[in-house]
Amino acid sequence: MDNLLDNAVRHSPEGEAVTVQAACADGRWRLEVADAGPGVPDAIRDRLFQRFTRADPARGRDTGGAGLGLALCAVIADLHGGSVVLAPPNGPPSGAHFVVDLAADPREAAV
């Protein structure tokens, strides 16, 4: 969640809201983080959770990380019996909308 929130704040224009929602139903947590930034380019949507993928190739480690954050999010969610996905765009406003699904009972996580 820390990485998703950090990305949302970093990519949202100053003064724009970052939305966070959480709900538990049927033994699963659904956590959502959405921003008002430029969104994720179509060209990288299919590899967004791969290591070293960055939306802006001009950004380097000193200005935007190494491109490992979302890959780590995916691995951590998987280890907790869940997943993280980028929701499909649904029109204006733009922005990225991530959905995390986790087992409510940690004993259900993969070992």
- Whether the per-residue pLDDT at 67 is higher than 50: the answer is yes
Average pLDDT over residues 54-66: 58
DSSP the chain: -HHHHHHHHHHSPTT---EEEEEEETTEEEEEEE--S----GGGGGGTTSTT--S-TT--HHHH--S-HHHHHHHHHHHTT-EEEEPPP-SSS---EEEEEEESSGGGS--
Q: What is the CATH number of domain 2-104?
A: 3.30.565.10
Q: Which of 65, 69, 73, 77 is nearest to 29 (CA)?
A: 77
Domain boundaries in the chain?
Answer: 2-104
d(CA 55, CA 59): 9
Tens of pLDDT, residues 72-103: 999 999 988 899 999 987 766 579 999 999 99
Tell me the pTM: 0.83
